[in-house]
Structure 1
Amino acid sequence: MTERATPFYCPYCGDEDLRPQEESHAAWLCTGCRRVFTVKFVGLNLATEHAEATT
């Protein structure tokens, strides 16, 4: 499994031409808007509180 999550588009401009940014760990460069960003997976929310509140 890779340490780097692969985004499919830039969260700022929506461009799909992304390149790995080597200077910063797990960072991506958007060639459309020239922003460098990271993507972090925090986890899953498996709590049943929301499901119980909507029923």
Structure 2
Amino acid sequence: MSGRAAPFYCPYCGDEDLVPYEKDGTWYCRACLRAFAVKFLGIGAKETS
């Protein structure tokens, strides 16, 4: 497991019953039976030209 923060709730159903799914940073929700990954895209607003 990496030193990154874990999600607090499922993005699909909002339940908090999450467990690590694989060693690649994905999570599994026991309530809605979905697996998902959280990806950080960046900080700040996108620069427009």
Which amino acid is the alignment partner of residue 40 of structure 1?
K
Across the aligned residues of Structure 1 and Structure 2, the Cα RMSD in angstroms comes to 2.1
Number of the residue aligned with 1:16: 16
Aligned residue pairs total 46
Aligned residues: percent identity? Answer: 54
Q: Equivalents in 1 of 2:18, 2:12: separation in Å?
A: 12
Deviations 1:4-54, CA, capped at 9 Å, x for gaps: 4410000000000000012x611000000000000011110156x8xxxxx
When normalised by structure 2's length, the TM-score is: 0.77
Bigger helix share:
1
Which segments of 5 or more consecutive residues in structure 2 lack a partner in the other structure?
A: none
When normalised by structure 1's length, the TM-score is: 0.70
In terms of Rg, which structure is larger? 1
Which segments of 5 or more consecutive residues in structure 1 lack a partner in the other structure?
A: 50-55
